[in-house]
Amino acid sequence: MTAQLIDGNALSRQLRESVAQRVATLKTQGITPGLAVVLVGDNPASQVYVRNKVKACHDTGMHSVLEQYGATMTEADLLARVDALNNDPTIHGILVQLPLPAHIDAHKVIEAISPAKDVDGFHVASAGALMVGQPGFWPCTPYGCMKMLESIGYNLRGKHAVVIGRSNIVGKPMALMLLQQNATVTVCHSATPDLKAMTLQADVIVAAVGKRNVLTADMVKPGAVVIDVGMNRNDEGKLCGDVDFAGVKEVASHITPVPGGVGPMTITMLMVNTLESAERGLAAQA
């Protein structure tokens, strides 16, 4: 069997069109959704990510502000900037790009962002809201994975989902979102003694470790759905995920490619969260 591709670029285009329409509607009501992206230091990968985020805002008709600071910026100065953005009515979402320089406490900075503008979904209040099923902002990468499953009409009720990786940004929130859709969820990680024994039981596998070939064809039940969150380079320097794509696509029913899978969905869900923040602001005024 050759798996069907879940095309993150095509799904992103479709979702961004619908975001652009909702942005246009909000503008007729006098509100332009605004995202502030804050980058500290000169990490080259971060520079690419923030440029793509700002471009996505532009493409969907949103307002965006890119604030770039040198690597020597103090924590106090960054906290002051976050505070100013919290109080700026033209800004509905605040994103502080990670990683931050080592002298800045990233947790403290994230906690300084108003939960009402935490479109990354990294604030403890956002994590808590997801945990108890209350409205908040879901972290963009696992939220994008859920949209990919939705796009193939996949019903998670009663299915066994195995998440490989337990990060605060992907693995843990992913497990909670799958659980909310009534899947039975297993979270595997570096201390899991027999990963293959777990993944062979899975109807859905989400690989989010950041290591090549974490999931190979012999570890996948025929017909399983495989979502690859990884973003790695192979020996030739080409972008690849955590999944051995060539092997696993012969066993899975659906699979996300890298590139062109989860990656574009992350930025798309950031647009969705920023739009929703602006819409909630409007609803609160009414």
| Residue ranges in contact with ligand GUN by CB under 6 A | 95-98, 120, 140, 266
CB of residue 94 to ligand GUN, shortest distance in Å:
10
Pick 120 or 276: Cβ nearer ligand GUN: 120
Residues 231 and 243: beta-carbon distance below 8 Å: no
Q: How far apart are CA 186 and CA 197, in angstroms?
A: 12
Q: Is 228 one of the catalytic residues?
A: no
Strands 254-255 and 4-5, by their bridges, are parallel
Pick 34 or 219: Cβ nearer ligand GUN: 34
CB of residue 283 to ligand GUN, shortest distance in Å:
26
CB of residue 110 to ligand GUN, shortest distance in Å:
8
CB of residue 153 to ligand GUN, shortest distance in Å:
27
In one-letter notation, the amino acid at residue 90 is T
Query: In this structure, what DSSP letter does residue 186 have?
Result: E
CB of residue 50 to ligand GUN, shortest distance in Å:
9
Pick 97 or 186: Cβ nearer ligand GUN: 97
User: Given its phi and psi angles, is residue 153 left (phi above 0), alpha (psi -120 to 50 degrees) or beta?
Assistant: left
The one catalytic residue in 117, 118, 120, 172 is 120
Pick 118 or 203: Cβ nearer ligand GUN: 118
Pick 125 or 282: Cβ nearer ligand GUN: 125
- Integer-rounded Cα radius of gyration of the chain: 19
Q: How far apart are CA 217 and CA 69, in angstroms?
A: 45
Backbone phi, then psi, for 55, in 5-degree steps?
-65, -40
Backbone phi, then psi, for 34, in 5-degree steps?
-130, 135
Cα distances from 141 to residues 57, 117, 228, 254, in angstroms, run 17, 17, 11, 18
The one catalytic residue in 4, 14, 68, 97 is 97
Examine residue 259 and say whether the peptide bond preceding it is cis (omega within 30 degrees of 0): yes
Residue nearest to ligand GUN (CB): 98
CB of residue 264 to ligand GUN, shortest distance in Å:
13
- Give the burial class of 66: count Cβ atoms within 10 A of its Cβ; 0-12 exposed, 13-18 middle, 19 or more buried: middle
Q: Which of 115, 69, 60, 66 is nearest to 92 (CA)?
A: 115
Q: Is 249 one of the catalytic residues?
A: no
Pick 120 or 244: Cβ nearer ligand GUN: 120
Which residues touch 132 (CB under 8 Å, ≥6 apart)? none
Active site residues: 53, 97, 120
